[in-house]
Structures are given as C-alpha cells and as structure tokens.
Amino acid sequence: MGRQPCCDKIGLKKGPWTTEEDKKLINFILNNGQCCWRAVPKLAGLLRCGKSCRLRWTNYLRPDLKRGLLSESEEKVVIDLHSQLGNRWSKIAANLPGRTDNEIKNHWNTHIKKKLRKMGIDPLTHKPLPSEEQLSHQSQHHQAPSAYSDLSTAVILHCPLDGPEAFCTDEVPLMEPHEIIVPCTPSATPCSSSSRSSSSKTKRTTWSSSSSYSNSSVKAEEIQIPSMEWPESVYLWGTDDFMGWDFISHDGEGKLSSTDLFNQNQEQWKCELF
C-alpha cells in the first residue's frame, strides 16, 4: 500500500502564482491564520496543493519578509553559519530575520559561492582552494584533498575587509561539532537551534520575528511583527484591495487575536505603503 500523494494532483495548477491567487492566499491566512496547509487551498478557493501554498506564503507573501539582495553583514552571517552548519538553510535562515531558507540558498548558490571561489576559498569546506601548483603536487602524490583531515592545523585565512568584495573569513571559526552554538539575539528570543520543547509541537528553529507566527501553536501574545514590506505583487493591487479586507475580530475578552495583530499592523503597512 503506497503512500498517498501530498495532494490530489489532478486539476491542480502549477507554475507561477498570479496576483489573484496571491490575494486569495493572503486573504485566507490573514483571516484564518495558518492552519493545516492541506486544507488551505480548498478553503481559500485555490487550485494549488497545500505544499505550494505553504511555500508561496513562507517564501514570498509573508509580510515580514525582507526583499532584495542580502546585505554584506547578512552575507557574513550566512558564510559564518554555513561554515558551522553546512547546507542547513532553514537553520541559517532562522538567524536572519526576514530571510527565507530558499532565498538564502539561492543567494548562496548564485552570489556567495562565486565570491568565495574568487577569493580562493572553497565554499564547501571554507578552506583555501588548492592552487594549481598544489593540485599538480597532490596528483603526483595521489593525495586526496582532505579538507577536514586536520582541523587542528587548519589554515584560517586573514583577509581584512577592505572592499565590497571582501569577506572576513578569518571570522569563520573552525570548531568541533559539540562547540557549535547558534547565536541568539540580544532580544533573547527562543532561538534554540535544535532544542525541542516537549510540550510544544514546535519542531524547528524559528526566529521570533520572522517566523514565529508561522507556527500555529504560537500564541497571539507572543507574536511580534516587525516593520514590513509587501511584495511587489501586493503593491500592484491598489488600496481598494486592502479596503476590502475584513479580518477584524476580537476574542470576546477585548484581547486581540493574531488576526488582530495582523490587523493592527495592516494599518502600519498601509502607512508605509501609501
């Protein structure tokens, strides 16, 4: 008995999302929050699989996403964390508020990899790439380039940050696995890199401002939404679309629900947008 597909693929739309679909999804999530993604497309009136909806939301529509290229400091963080965590993009993204794993992964593959290679650093090992001379020498001695064969004597580059292309890879620590501690922010957000609460369904690391509310178990009181930018597609809708949104709700005790927090921020978003 095979496993059920994640979604009924028949009749489901694939490919780029339209503005209309984006609107539907945003509307639905702002009204209902994030419940089970499988049900979202049906309830939101979308001909997409839940997975696709989740991806679209987390990677593109989430209002707290930063857009645009990663800053130099963000790149540095990515490089630093990559040296410790490898291709654990979601973990890396958890340390960069407003950035998604997909975004970081793409940026790594298209920009950072090249930069590091240009600087003579192996993006995989974060160690200096062997020069041609060294390569020929190695081939003579049939020695495989063992990047981590001798961590204790690993070369740590010193490259002063003297230009836009330069990274301080000397800040990339070479550490033992047990030494790896994902840095927390001063705001003392629960960024437990791998710790799991036994009472919570929270499975994975989240950055409080970037993805805490992506977890349905997170209480509204905990939600903090930073200053946000809507994606371009949302800009294009015009104000009428915003006016049509109706997600004002109270929980009966005068407390604001997560929807209300969105609503509060909606005003802020509007101010920023228009």
Partner DNA sequence: AAACCATACAACCGCTTCCAA
Partner DNA sequence: GTTGGAAGCGGTTGTATGGTT
User: Using CB under 7 A as the criterion, which residues of the chain lie in contact with DNA when the complex forms?
Assistant: 1, 3-4, 6, 13-17, 35-38, 48, 50-52, 54-56, 59-60, 69, 87-91, 101-103, 105-107, 109-111, 114, 196, 201, 203-205, 214-215
Task: Report the residue number, 107 or 190, with the smaller CB distance to DNA.
Answer: 107
Task: Report the residue number, 232 or 267, with the smaller CB distance to DNA.
Answer: 232
- Give 39's contacts (C-beta < 8 A, 6+ positions apart): 50
User: Smallest distance from the beta carbon of 208 to DNA, in angstroms?
Assistant: 15
Task: Report the residue number, 215 or 268, with the smaller CB distance to DNA.
Answer: 215
Q: Please state, in angstroms and rounded to a whole number, the distance separating the CA atoms of residues 237 and 269.
A: 14
Task: Report the residue number, 30 or 55, with the smaller CB distance to DNA.
Answer: 55
- Give 135's contacts (C-beta < 8 A, 6+ positions apart): none
User: Smallest distance from the beta carbon of 31 to DNA, in angstroms?
Assistant: 17
User: Smallest distance from the beta carbon of 29 to DNA, in angstroms?
Assistant: 12
User: Smallest distance from the beta carbon of 106 to DNA, in angstroms?
Assistant: 4
Asked if 109 and 97 touch (Cβ cutoff 8 Å), the reply is: no
Distances (CA, A) of 261 to 40, 60, 218, 258: 21, 20, 13, 5
Task: Report the residue number, 124 or 135, with the smaller CB distance to DNA.
Answer: 124
Kind plus residue range of the DSSP H or E element containing 232: helix 232-235
Asked if 98 and 104 touch (Cβ cutoff 8 Å), the reply is: no
User: Smallest distance from the beta carbon of 207 to DNA, in angstroms?
Assistant: 11
